[in-house]
Structure 1
């Protein structure tokens, strides 16, 4: 499901720059067609390699555009924020409705008038399997009832017992929330998250098609694209492993900024270290060398 949401971001989202990267990081963790996902600012900072201010500004921009809306009455593991991608959910519902009648039917591009599926109480209850629960009020929160720690309550040295049900069934924040996604590489994460080093990530057909459609293949050329890819892998070799979707987004951003390789002109032809005599141009020096070669004896004169 996260793959379909990432494709929606690539094809239909109006986000740009860091906001687009943050949206991709969130979309990469979408578990089902409801497009509800939890994420913390610290987690998004790590996944996008952006500063806290940049991530917060990106979240504000996405909220203003309506592509990422925070569900403030819900919370994820460790009280992380919960978001929904309403336009992505609308698009998935539209595709499902059309393909239900005809699997090969053409689906019109999304519009602002496309309805967003409702997220009722039953639907929100089903999110508990992904570690998303209703946010508790301050009165019912045991950690806020007595912040000073009086004699009748446990002291600060005895932390409040964690509430059952808040923890995600799949481990830490870095785990994928979609249990149906295949575990690609357990060697690089004790939690089993589907992450790989940059050197092992391969350019998939969709990413290569994107480079062709955006004109980067014509702009850089096949060799230039390979050179840009090699340079990207060199610069990302010491980065921590990430998901395939995160590497794809970072690779596309790199290719977009890459300049075409410079073409060597006549001035770049090597001269084997010989410089023309003082006061002579390069052409005059070549002519003088040619005349000297013609005047030298060859040993065949009679």
Structure 2
């Protein structure tokens, strides 16, 4: 469902610059059609590669525009702020209603007057979003960026109460079907990962869209280019997420569109030898056949 939320941001959001990247980062965490998700200020800073001040200003701007709403009475794991994309939720509800009987029915463009569906908070609990309990303060009412500190060390959370999520920590995805995001170590600098473990972050995805590579290659072509990049980098030593992102961008920029000769090919992706032979066996058979072929000088 995060794909639909991101699609709404790409096509219908009026946000720009850092605000657009922040909105995409929140949309990337959306687990269902209610378009609610949790995110910490530090994770948004890391994902957008922007300064703390820029991210705070972007959140304030998005809240004022109505494209992002802070759910003050809810919170995610480790007291992270809960957000909702109300206009995205309204748009998805509008599309679902219009295509219920006819999947090919025309859907009117979204407007600010489209009704926003009521939030079903009980469904959010399976994604790690729970109501705030007790009398603890609510910093998100003063700042859309929310709290950054973890749970109190003096009063542990009671068993089977408060925040419960199957993933455990903020580094894990809210939706089990979504890949784990790239993260940096807090004490040892950037964490090293393999090419296969690295995932395309929102900033890199936005780069592909803004530079025209998504239009040039198409979604299928971009996925094929990504698969070839991972195959070629499978044996490379682990690198930081920023290093993989730079290498991936360089690869995509040089990739040809479908229908044109590819600059790269998957290892071993040439025509398969007949008869189930390996490439070496096929070369040997060709040489033997050439030696046995009459030359006319016998």
TM-score (norm 1): 0.57
Query: For residue 123 of structure 2, what is the aligned residue in structure 1?
Result: 126
Q: Is the 8 A contact 1:38 1:76 kept in 2?
A: yes
**What is the Cα deviation at residue 105 of structure 1?**
1.5
Q: Residues 124 and 188 of structure 1: is their aligned pair in 2 closer, same or farther, counting only changes over 3 Å?
A: farther
Q: Is the 8 A contact 2:192 2:241 kept in 1?
A: no
Q: Residues 196 and 59 of structure 1: is their aligned pair in 2 closer, same or farther, counting only changes over 3 Å?
A: closer
Q: Is the 8 A contact 2:173 2:179 kept in 1?
A: no
**Equivalent runs, 1:66-85 vs 2, <5 Å:** 66-85=66-85
In 1, the alpha carbon distance for the partners of 2:57 and 2:77 equals 23
2:170 corresponds to 1:173: yes
**What is the Cα deviation at residue 167 of structure 1?**
4.0
Q: Residues 188 and 5 of structure 1: is their aligned pair in 2 closer, same or farther, counting only changes over 3 Å?
A: farther
**What is the Cα deviation at residue 20 of structure 1?**
0.2
3-state secondary structure, aligned to 2:59? helix
Q: Residues 7 and 196 of structure 1: is their aligned pair in 2 closer, same or farther, counting only changes over 3 Å?
A: closer
Q: Is the 8 A contact 2:173 2:181 kept in 1?
A: no
Unaligned residue ranges in structure 1 (runs of 5+)? 142-156, 214-236, 256-302
Unaligned residue ranges in structure 2 (runs of 5+)? 139-151, 183-190, 219-237, 254-298
Query: For residue 99 of structure 2, what is the aligned residue in structure 1?
Result: 99
1:159 is aligned, of 146, 154, 176, to 154
**What is the Cα deviation at residue 194 of structure 1?**
7.5
2:190 corresponds to 1:195: no
Aligned length: 202
TM-score (norm 2): 0.57
In 1, the alpha carbon distance for the partners of 2:72 and 2:181 equals 33
In 1, the alpha carbon distance for the partners of 2:171 and 2:241 equals 12
**What is the Cα deviation at residue 160 of structure 1?**
2.1
**Cα distance per residue 1:245-281 (max 9 Å; x no partner):** xx7xx97xxx9xxxxxxxxxxxxxxxxxxxxxxxxxx
Q: Residues 239 and 17 of structure 1: is their aligned pair in 2 closer, same or farther, counting only changes over 3 Å?
A: farther
3-state secondary structure, aligned to 1:10? helix
Query: For residue 28 of structure 2, what is the aligned residue in structure 1?
Result: 28
**What is the Cα deviation at residue 93 of structure 1?**
0.3
In 2, the alpha carbon distance for the partners of 1:11 and 1:107 equals 14
**What is the Cα deviation at residue 78 of structure 1?**
0.7
Query: For residue 38 of structure 2, what is the aligned residue in structure 1?
Result: 38
**Equivalent runs, 1:194-233 vs 2, <5 Å:** 195-196=199-200, 208-210=213-215
**Cα distance per residue 1:213-257 (max 9 Å; x no partner):** 9xxxxxxxxxxxxxxxxxxxxxxx9752699xxx7xx97xxx9xx
**Equivalent runs, 1:213-292 vs 2, <5 Å:** 240=241
Q: Is the 8 A contact 1:71 1:82 kept in 2?
A: yes
Query: For residue 134 of structure 2, what is the aligned residue in structure 1?
Result: 137
**Cα distance per residue 1:86-132 (max 9 Å; x no partner):** 0000000011111112111121110111111011xxx1011111111
In 2, the alpha carbon distance for the partners of 1:80 and 1:170 equals 15
The structure 1 segments of at least 4 consecutive aligned residues displaced by more than 3 Å after TM superposition are 180-185, 187-190, 200-204, 207-213
In 1, the alpha carbon distance for the partners of 2:15 and 2:38 equals 20
**Cα distance per residue 1:57-96 (max 9 Å; x no partner):** 0000000000000010001111111011000000000111
